[in-house]
Chains A and B, each alone.
Chain A
Amino acid sequence: MKKVRLGIIGLGYVGKIHLSHALKLENAQVIGVADISRRALSDARKQGVKKTFSDYEQLLKEPDFDAVIIGLPTHLHRDCAIRAFEAGKDVFLEKPIARNVKEAKEIATAARESSAKLMVGYPQRFNPIFCELKRKINCCELGDVEIADATYVSSGPFFHRAVDQAPSPVPEWWFDKESTGGGALMDLGCHLINLLRWYFGEVADIRSHLGYRYNIDLEDHAICIVQFEHGTTAIMNVGWFSQVFQLKVDLLGSVANASAEHRPENHLVTAAKMFTLGNSRFLYPHLAELHYFSDCVIKGVKPSPSGEDGLKDLEAIDLAYKNTIDLRV
């Protein structure tokens, strides 16, 4: 069986998640990784990665790689992705595609012009429970979905604030709007926008209320009302304030209703599943998206969510930032 030769650029929080999953893929092989942290590279070597680079440019020059997974901070996405396309690599780019619409367009255009494949990382698109909702919508089991209610709250960049998580420093770039392009709406909202666009098509209009519980320059929570072109109205709640992870979608249709909730399992259950099955239900979507991406590379198929999807998600979020309603008294 042909295997995609993968490189991973960026071994921060999400990069490590991608590395651990990529190492389990049967249709891909992790050839090398790049990061500025010596410790991260050393850890990767211990996991069996043969080639390590302190500069991603060196990795991109190597002919041994078919594709790269980019898990860098958002402000570095554009330059790295464009350099990867120029080097002839297919790209799996962590969400959000970029920190603003302009950069997202540049990335999508560069991908198109290079004929390289570009996939934006939205693991929930590969989550069986959300795929089941998509099936129900497609089969008209719910009738016309008039209202959708989507919620994604977590501790956001404050991983250690979550229940049972060990303290770990938060990288400074998280608090810099120039680096991230936005707060919770950008970070978590893009997941929900992408999922809802997958279900209901393009966004016609969007309004938002942004909240600032933690006095950060970026919003730490947001509520959006989204009108889709085909008629569905969605309410979207996102927040970085919660110690508990909650990702939930409720669909209210003219025939039936449906709900799906992605929630972490108990530590012991997770450990048991990791031990016996090699993966847990909670982490499965991350594995599935990389497996799908590698399959697309092998078969020469354009992956979805594509760069254009990532751009449209960002356009919707950009509109939400412009159309804010201030409810504070």
Chain B
Amino acid sequence: MSSVSFVKIQKNTVASTRRAIGEALNLVDYSFKKEIRNVVIKPNLCYYWDYSTGQTTDPRFVQALIDLLREKIVPNPNISIVEADASAMKCRHAFKFLGYEKLAKNNVKLVNLSEDRSDPVAVRVGRHIAELRVPRTIRDADLRINVPKIKYIPGQIKITCALKNIFGCNPYPKKIRLHPQLEVAIVATNKAMRFELCIVDGNIVSGVQPRRLGLVMASEDSVAIDTAAARIAGLNSNLRYLRIASHEGIGNMSFVPKGEPLEYFKARYPQQSSKDKLLGIAYKMVVHMRLGKRLGLE
């Protein structure tokens, strides 16, 4: 069974975050191999929302991770911070607006996966076969680290964390074309691009509103991380995409918690009230009936 660690960031500083990441990795008995030279870090950059919204990985969290990598591996590993263009987001703007350009020094580079060379792969998920492309930067890395956020999103998959963040590595910008089969596409992408380590930036999380949770989660198992994230968000963690991912051998839905109790963070997560849920249903009905379009609201 996989381990998932839960560690509280003591102070909102890079140094304190680095200590929390280190402790989270120790708790799951993870140690970096000394021979690693090429590291890929995949933060979650979502449109141009900055870290304060809880929607995107804080560049200071990534800075703390880079500091730790330099301490634990070699002083100057080749680090690629990767993201791909999306329907409404251009990487070059996102890297700039969200403060990632400041990290691009001393062997750290920013890679737009949509402009990277990539190879086609066909991935089977159940009876579906997904045709994807794997960027070379991800393929050639010695270590791939996923640094997602915890976000509750009403709709198909309900929780965005480790597995969904890797879906963002698909170099094709119009990922919305994959959304009708989103659960299958997420699992297929994670099969095509295996990330060895997941460290969740749960400092500020996004629920019905953003909130500072001060959490670092770590695991080598993305499915276990997402199961834990769903529980923290107050959801039934028996989500379909997690079941498919587990069935496809990406990870386990059961895990051994380490560190702070999960309940501590669950109690502080900004969950929906009953009123919010009702309003959400009513709003979805408005959207479903295309009332917004008919009335000129969209």
B96, CB-defined interface residue at 8 Å? yes
Contacting A at CB under 8 A, from B37-92, are 47-50, 53, 86-90
Residues of A near B101 (CB, < 8 A) are: 215
Chain B residues 19-51 with CB under 8 Å of chain A are: 47-50
> Which A residues are CB-close (under 8 A) to B120?
none
* Binary per-residue interface labels of chain B (258-298) against chain A in the complex, 1 for a CB within 8 Å, 0 otherwise: 00000000000000000000010011001000011001111
- Report how many A-B pairs have Cβ atoms within 8 Å: 57
Say which one of A199-207, A264-272, A288-296 lies at the interface with B.
Answer: A264-272
A160 in contact with B88 given A215-B97, A270-B297, A274-B295 (CB within 8 Å):
yes
Q: What are the interface flags for A181-217 relative to B under an 8 Å C-beta threshold, 1 for contact and 0 otherwise?
A: 0000000000000000000000000000000011110
CB atoms of B97 and A267 under 8 A apart? no
**B48 partner residues in chain A, CB cutoff 8 A:** 158, 161, 170, 214
Q: What residues of chain B lie closer than 8 Å to A63, measured between beta carbons?
A: none
* B296 / chain A contacts, CB cutoff of 8 Å: 20, 274
> Which residues does chain B contribute within 8 Å of A161, judged by CB atoms?
47-49, 53
Closest to A174 in B: B93
User: Closest chain B residue to A267 by CB distance?
Assistant: B283
Q: Whole-angstrom distance between the alpha carbons of A20 and B90 in the complex?
A: 29
Known: A160-B47, A271-B291. A216 touches B87 (CB 8 A): no
A167 at the interface (CB under 8 A from B): yes
Q: A160 to chain B: which residues have CB within 8 Å?
A: 47, 88
The smallest beta-carbon distance between A205 and chain B, in angstroms, is 33
Is B234's CB within 8 Å of the partner chain A?
Answer: no
Q: Does B99 sit at the interface, judged by CB under 8 A?
A: yes
Question: Judging by beta carbons under 8 Å apart, are B297 and A216 in contact?
Answer: no
A175 contacts B93, CB within 8 Å? yes
Task: Determine the distance from Cα of A270 to Cα of B283 in the docked complex, in whole angstroms.
Answer: 12
Q: A271 and B286: CB pair below 8 A?
A: yes
Tell me whether A169 is interfacial, beta carbon within 8 Å.
yes
B111 to chain A, nearest CB (A): 19
CB < 8 Å neighbour of A274 from B96, B279, B283, B297: B297
User: In the complex, are the beta carbons of B87 and A169 less than 8 A apart?
Assistant: yes
Q: How far, in angstroms, from A158 to B286 measured CA to CA in the complex?
A: 24
B286:A268 contact, CB within 8 angstroms: yes
Within the complex, which residue of B97, B282, B295, B298 is in contact with A214, where a contact is CB–CB below 8 Å?
Answer: B97
Q: Which of A200-244 contact B (CB under 8 A)?
A: 213-216, 243
Identify the closest chain B residue to A20 (Cβ). B296
CB pair B87 A167 closer than 8 Å: yes
| A168 CB within 8 Å of chain B | yes
B88:A215 contact, CB within 8 angstroms: no
- Interface residue from B47, B87, B97, B295 paired with A271 (Cβ < 8 Å): B295
Q: By the criterion CB–CB under 8 Å, are A214 and B297 in contact?
A: no
A214 to B86, CA, bound (A): 19
A168 near B88 with CB under 8 A, answer yes
Number of interface residues of B (CB under 8 A): 26
CB distance from B285 to the nearest CB of A (A): 10
Per the bound structure, the CA–CA distance linking A158 and B89 in Å amounts to 10
As a 0/1 sequence over residues 260 to 286 of chain A, the CB contacts with chain B under 8 angstroms (1 = contact) are 000000011011001100000000000
A-side contacts of B297, CB under 8 Å: 267, 270-271, 274
Nearest B-chain residue to A155, judged by Cβ: B48
Residues on A with beta carbons closer than 8 Å to the beta carbon of B298: 166
CA distance A175 to B47 in the complex (A): 15
Given contacts A268-B279, A270-B297, contact A216 B88 (CB under 8 A): no
Interface residues in B187-201 (C-beta closer than 8 Å to A): none
For the complex, what is the distance from the CA of A38 to the CA of B49, rounded to whole Å? 30
Residue of B at shortest CB range from A19?
Answer: B296
Return A49 CB to nearest CB of chain B, in Å: 14
Q: Determine the distance from Cα of A34 to Cα of B202 in the docked complex, in whole angstroms.
A: 48
CB distance from B152 to the nearest CB of A (A): 14
- Bound: A170/B101 CA distance, A: 20
**Chain A 41-60 per-residue mask, 1 if CB under 8 angstroms from chain B, else 0:** 00000000000000000000
Cβ B88 vs Cβ A167 within 8 A: yes
State how many angstroms separate the Cβ of A18 from the closest Cβ of chain B: 12
Q: State the CA gap A160–B283 with chains docked (Å).
A: 17
Closest to A243 in B: B53
Chain B nearest CB from A104 CB (Å) reads 29
Taking A160-B47, A268-B286 as contacts, is the C-beta distance between A215 and B99 under 8 angstroms?
Answer: yes
Question: Chain B residues with Cβ under 8 A from A271's Cβ?
Answer: 286, 291-292, 295, 297
Q: Please measure, in the bound complex, the distance between the C-alpha atom of A310 and the C-alpha atom of B244, giving whole angstroms.
A: 59
A267 CA to B292 CA, complexed, in Å: 9
Kindly list chain A residues whose C-beta atoms are within 8 Å of the C-beta of B89: 167, 169
Cβ contacts under 8 Å, A169 to chain B: 87-90
Cα of A329 to Cα of B120 in the assembled complex, Å? 50
A242 to nearest B CB, angstroms? 11
Given contacts A160-B47, A160-B88, A167-B89, contact A216 B96 (CB under 8 A): yes
Instruction: Point out the residues of chain A lying under 8 angstroms from B53, CB to CB.
Output: 161, 243
Could you say which residues of chain B place their CB within 8 Å of the CB of A215? 96-97, 99, 101
The reply to whether A268 and B47 form a contact with Cβ atoms under 8 Å apart is no
Q: How far is the CB of A216 from chain B (nearest CB, A)?
A: 6
Residues of B with C-beta under 8 A to A270: 297
List 5 A-B residue pairs with CB atoms under 8 Å apart, sorted by A's residue number.
A168-B88, A169-B89, A170-B88, A267-B283, A268-B286
The 5 closest A-B pairs by CB, nearest first: A167-B88, A274-B295, A214-B97, A20-B296, A169-B88
New A-B contacts (7) at CB < 8 Å, excluding given A267-B297, A268-B286: A158-B48, A167-B87, A167-B88, A170-B48, A214-B98, A216-B97, A271-B297
